[in-house]
Structures are given as structure tokens and as C-alpha cells.
């Protein structure tokens, strides 16, 4: 069921890839349509700043993609976060990640169609160009993680496996934003497309907000659905219009 247009008293949190942007063969190949930037600028204005990106990508990469628009961002699944005042909150990279990095670098070097994305506090192995290697990637990630499971965990995504800090989640990032201006006291809404977004859906459900899944088929804790990126942009534009007219 399609969500209602958001109101001026909502706080909106948006995933990036697969939600605002079509997924590309590699993370570096995504492009930002002008329509996306306009929708973000308009909605930020109508919500008086209560708009944030919550993504698996790093803050630095997201800033580059969205320039010149700059928003509050929770990156690397919440392991790093920039609040609305511009202050950065970042967890130190786990010492155990150094061993994981070496192991996965050696593994990926043997398979040229795999891509290792180093996010400093997390590592992602993309196998979109080699889906037949999924089982091997899973085994390599498990072996690399070894006994570091107290500090790190494997996060599944669409054609990607990521090893990230265990404490970091999109849900926790949203909860922290909701304690701060201009998000505090508003009704949260989170839009995402992947299993990595389920923690965010769970959190906004607990906070009495609106959880919105992009795509169909997979089971989800989200209470609303939008079929694809194009409809997400339609919805964001309708949100700006609704908030403007209140």
C-alpha cells in the first residue's frame, strides 16, 4: 500500500542506492539526476531541515554525489554520522578490521570481477558482476571475520556482503537523530529498499512513524510500499507540495 504524502511535522530519513538512485553495476557508476537534487532541496525546506540520508555509503562519498546539496547524513550504516549542526560523530575503526581487510584484499585479488569497497570502519565485497561467486564470497567473509564477532558482523545486502561494526545500525542512527533538533518531536519516516534497512524500519515503527519499503516481493517490517525509485521521487515531490500547502 502506498504511503500518504508526508506532513510538515514529519522527519524524513532516506536510504540512497535503490531508493533515491538506481543501483549500478559498481558503486562508482551511479549518477544523480537533477530531479533528485531538486526534490531533496525542496523537501528539506518544507520540513524546516528535518531531512537526512541514512546509507551504507560513507559521508564523504555521499557529499560528493549530492553536491552542492549538503544534508545531515548517517553513513556506513550509522558508524559515522553528521548531525544537522554539522558536527561529526564517528566510531573508531575496530582494530580487528585490519586482519579482515588483509584477508579480503587477498581473496578479491584472485577474482577480478569482485570489488572490495573500503569504508575505513567497514568493508564491502560486491559480487554483482560475478553472482556465481556468492557462495565463495560468503565463505571468505566468514573466514575473515574469524573470532572478531564480538566487535564486527556480516551485513547482507543486494549482491554485496559487508563487515561492519556490530553496534552500528540504521535504526540506531535514526534514534539518535530523533533526539536532536530539528528532528526531535516530529513523526519519523524512513524509506529504504534492502535488508540493511530493516533496522531502520523497526525503529520508526517503534517510534510510531512510517516505514516505507521500495520494491515488492521480499518480506519486510515496513508498513508501506513504493514500487521503484521513480515512485519514490513522485512521493517526495508530493510530500513537498503537501507540506507547502498546510
First to last CA, the chain: 24
- Tell the burial category of 237 from Cβ atoms under 10 Å away from its Cβ (0-12, 13-18, 19+): middle
Cα 54 from Cα 176, distance rounded (Å): 12
Interaxial angle between packed helices 34-46 and 229-245, expressed in degrees from 0 to 180 and rounded to the nearest 10: 30
Asked about 234 being catalytic, the answer comes back as no
In 116-134, which positions are buried (b, 16+ CB within 10 angstroms) versus exposed (e)? Answer: ebebebbbbbbbbebeebe
According to DSSP, the residues that pair with 51 across neighbouring strands are 12
Q: Which of 9, 15, 106, 143 is catalytic?
A: 15
Kindly report the backbone phi and psi dihedral angles of residue 201, in degrees, each rounded to the nearest multiple of 5, phi listed first. -60, -45
Of the candidates 242, 199, 239, 236, the residue with the CA atom closest to the CA atom of residue 220: 199
Cα 219 from Cα 197, distance rounded (Å): 12
The residues annotated as belonging to the active site are 15
Amino acid at each position: 500500500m502506498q504511503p500518504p504524502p508526508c506532513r510538515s511535522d514529519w522527519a524524513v530519513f532516506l536510504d540512497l542506492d535503490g531508493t533515491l538512485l538506481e543501483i549500478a553495476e559498481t558503486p562508482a557508476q551511479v549518477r544523480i539526476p537533477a530531479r533528485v537534487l531538486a526534490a531533496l532541496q525542496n523537501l528539506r525546506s518544507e520540513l524546516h531541515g528535518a531531512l537526512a540520508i541514512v546509507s551504507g555509503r560513507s559521508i564523504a562519498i555521499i557529499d560528493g554525489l549530492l553536491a552542492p546539496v549538503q544534508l545531515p547524513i548517517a553513513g556506513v550504516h550509522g558508524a559515522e554520522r553528521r548531525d544537522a549542526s554539522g558536527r561529526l560523530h564517528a566510531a573508531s575503526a575496530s582494530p580487528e578490521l585490519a586482519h579482515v581487510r588483509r584477508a579480503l584484499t587477498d581473496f578479491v585479488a584472485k577474482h577480478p570481477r569482485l570489488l572490495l569497497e573500503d569504508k575505513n570502519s567497514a568493508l564491502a565485497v560486491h559480487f554483482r558482476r560475478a553472482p556465481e561467486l556468492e557462495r565463495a564470497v560468503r565463505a571468505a567473509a566468514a573466514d575473515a571475520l574469524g573470532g572478531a564477532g564480538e566487535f564486527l558482523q556480516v551485513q547482507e545486502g543486494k549482491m554485496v556482503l559487508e563487515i561492519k561494526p556490530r553496534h552500528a545500525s540504521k535504526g540506531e542512527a535514526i534514534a539518535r537523530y530523533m533526539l536532536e533538533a530539528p528532528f526531535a518531536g516530529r513523526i519519523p519516516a524512513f524509506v529504504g529498499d534492502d535488508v540493511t534497512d530493516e533496522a531502520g524500519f523497526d525503529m520508526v515503527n517503534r517510534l510510531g512513524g512510517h516505514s516505507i519499503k521500495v520494491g515488492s516481493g521480499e518480506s519486510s517490517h515496513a508498513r508501506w510500499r513504493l514500487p521503484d525509485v521513480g515512485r519514490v521521487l513522485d512521493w517526495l515531490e508530493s510530500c513537498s507540495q503537501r507540506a507547502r500547502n498546510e
